[in-house]
Copies of this chain bind each other. A is one copy, B any other.
């Protein structure tokens, strides 16, 4: 790989910000390649790559011989557009709702499957995550640990779709964790609920594990809704 990768990534991020914030509005054309080159001081090859990536995610359509049009990405984008928009801090109620709906689906079904499928080794690994949670103080590391806990459950389920939906929303999941991790009582509550889920898995009780996961997801959703509406009021 050449040295321009991080430049390309930064340029993609800039474009995504403008699309998500509506500065580049849906159904309008992006500025011409020449203008983009000038404005962002990037080469045509960086723009080519960026446009291909934005198209893959579902943010833009490439109109042959014309230009690039911003897609109505909320309806015509892939899950990667939701991922980016949440990671960029767009937390409108409808987005938070949609996010938790699909998150609860993969995690509740995932944990139900995991209860019968987890090997003893996998249960031990989950147990270690739970132990670390009680000890960690660093918020970034804690968010990473939550991520690991949820991802492991999706993987243990053996359902490709659960792991892949998780990965499609990975940056969003981090961003959502960042919202509640700094709250001491939320952290305490999460730890307790994670432990309940772990105990249900150890008992191979899929129904209980699913119920606990649903309770956790609902709890997080309310918390995130509260925090984000508070942010707006400030």
A residues with a Cβ closer than 8 A to B are 1-2, 5, 8, 45, 48-49, 51-53, 56-58, 62-68, 74-82, 94-95, 97-99, 101-102, 105, 109, 155, 158-165, 167-168
Of A49, A79, A82, A162, which is in contact with the most chain B CB atoms at under 10 Å from its CB? A79
Are B1 and A74 in contact, with the CB atoms below 8 A? no
Are B161 and A74 in contact, with the CB atoms below 8 A? no
Are B64 and A1 in contact, with the CB atoms below 8 A? yes
A1: chain B residues within 8 A (beta carbon): 48, 51, 62-68
- Please give me the residue from chain B that is nearest to A106 by CB atom: B102
Q: Is the interface of A mostly helix, strand, loop or mixed?
A: helix
Docked CA distance A21–B81 (Å): 28
| A56 contact from B51, B56, B162, B164, Cβ within 8 A | B56
* Apart from the given pairs A75-B155, A80-B168, A105-B105, 7 other A-B contacts in the complex at a CB distance below 8 Å: A1-B62, A8-B52, A56-B56, A56-B57, A79-B165, A94-B160, A98-B159
Of A77, A158, A161, A162, which is in contact with the most chain B CB atoms at under 10 Å from its CB? A161
